[in-house]
Copies of this chain bind each other. A is one copy, B any other.
């Protein structure tokens, strides 16, 4: 095949894995499927990865790492809490729209990881959530942290729903809609009595 740049095949495999895992689920994708998707046979994968589970692990650790890193960066760069929340929302929305497969795998396949990988991913996710919670705590000083954490998780559910409901909207329309909805949901005033 004579592909020069080291790791081209590797990254192709990771991309195919993310796409196929998102579409059919980890257990619904075979090694042969993965090989076929990158133009080889199944067992060729073992030249690049120790096994199927390691593949999933790499995908999940990578996306968690990117999200957490980006989150930290955006918050650090922002002038105030309001601006930081906006940046987090825009960043997450862009990610969800650009990489729907990664977002899907990220919140469905945690259970198929090695215990060690699961720990790593969980730690990264927790860090990312805490970025959001920290920003929200400034905007809603009265709210208890447990409420803010739950609110952030719910907002992720909203933002991550994109891959399952693309619909007829253009990308900018969808981005704007999610931004408005996410901001409204997260900055809703403290619960009035029902």
Interface residues of A, Cβ cutoff 8 Å to B: 23-25, 27-28, 107-108, 111-112, 146-147, 149-151, 153-162, 164-165, 167-169, 173-174, 176-188, 191-192, 194
Residue among A23, A155, A181, A182 with max Cβ neighbours from chain B (10 Å): A181
Q: Which residues of B contact A24 (CB under 8 A)?
A: 111
Knowing A158-B154, A177-B154, A185-B182, the reply to whether A146 touches B169 (Cβ < 8 A) is yes
Inter-chain CA distance A111–B21, complex, in Å, is 12
| Residue contact A151 to B164, C-beta cutoff 8 Å | no
Q: Which residues of B are found within 8 Å of A108, using beta-carbon distances?
A: 108
Complex CA distance for A178 and B194, rounded to whole angstroms: 12
Question: How many identical chains are in the complex?
Answer: 2
Can you offer 15 A-B residue contacts whose CB atoms are under 8 A? Answer: A24-B111, A25-B27, A146-B169, A150-B167, A153-B161, A153-B165, A154-B178, A156-B161, A157-B159, A157-B165, A158-B158, A158-B185, A176-B191, A182-B185, A184-B184
In the bound assembly, the distance between CA atoms of A184 and B27 in angstroms comes to 38
Give Cα A66–Cα B147 distance, bound, in whole angstroms: 30
Q: Which residues of B contact A176 (CB under 8 A)?
A: 191, 194
* Chain B residues whose CB sits within 8 angstroms of the CB of A180 once the complex forms: 188, 191-192
How far is it, in angstroms, between the C-alpha of A184 and the C-alpha of B182 when the chains are bound? 9
- A177-B194 in contact given A146-B169, A182-B185, A184-B185 (Cβ < 8 Å): no
